[in-house]
Chain A
Amino acid sequence: QKEVEQNSGPLSVPEGAIASLNCTYSDRGSQSFFWYRQYSGKSPELIMFIYSNGDKEDGRFTAQLNKASQYVSLLIRDSQPSDSATYLCAVGVRAGGTSYGKLTFGQGTILTVHP
């Protein structure tokens, strides 16, 4: 089982719709969860982070965390063509004996928002 898995894409939504991106993780001890957006040819950009169960909203973005189900999601409301990118889920996982851990990424979901 992969440490971090994202729903397979690509995901295509019409402009103005809600885009829903999902991610599951295997380490029950994970405490920190991040969503990055990566445009083609660019580096990842941090758009949301969440550390506690529940919802966290920032503008058109909502991150949802359910530690019991080991599930984190990102909702993008009123999707725009400029939201078309690859979205990477990243989870802070413990790393063999060290207290520092590491950030582990999913494979990413390609989102296309069409006009």
Chain B
Amino acid sequence: KAGVTQTPRYLIKTRGQQVTLSCSPISGHRSVSWYQQTPGQGLQFLFEYFSETQRNKGNFPGRFSGRQFSNSRSEMNVSTLELGDSALYLCASSLDAGPFHNEQFFGPGTRLTVL
């Protein structure tokens, strides 16, 4: 069974631009969660999508948004990029929504650098 895939793997953008990242979950998984990982803040939850609906959202500004399609694939968008948005963006796939009795599997991540 194929794992979680994320595209692109690396991105370099400049301040003020916007970016769209894509995530395809494991076949049969209906939930996709997005995380930001930085050396200073660690792994932080951005949001979770299940059945095309955002089920939960972390403490990030509105510049961070996402969506999920009927095939469970998900995209996240960051508008008006700031230097502090440079990070590894990870998506995680799971069968059901939420973390309770529900294992999440991570993709390889997208490394975003904002210049």
Q: Which residues of A contact B (CB under 8 A)?
A: 31-32, 34, 36, 42-46, 49, 51, 88, 90-93, 95, 98-108
- Chain B contact-residue range equals 20 to 34
In contact, A100 and B33 (Cβ under 8 angstroms): no
Q: What are the residues of chain A within 8 A of B56 when measuring CB–CB?
A: 95, 98, 100-102
Stretch in contact with the other chain, from B40-48, B60-68, B75-83: B40-48
A interface: dominant SS: strand
Q: Give per-residue flags for B11-46: 1 if the beta carbon is below 8 A from chain A beta carbons, else 0.
A: 000000000000000000000010000000011110
Interface check B1, CB cutoff 8 A:
no
A44 x B43 contact (CB < 8 A): yes
| Nearest neighbor of B46 in chain A, beta-carbon distance | A102
Flag if A46 contacts B104 (CB, 8 Å).
yes
A99 and B108 contact, CB distance less than 8 A: no
Task: Check A103/B104 contact, CB under 8 A, given A43-B109, A44-B43.
Answer: yes
A32 to B88, CA, bound (A): 25
Report Cα–Cα, A13/B42, bound state, in Å: 24
Establish whether residues A105 and B42, one from each chain, have CB atoms under 8 Å apart when the complex forms.
yes
Q: A102-B45, A105-B44 are in contact. List 5 more A-B contacts (CB 8 A).
A: A43-B107, A43-B108, A103-B33, A103-B45, A103-B92
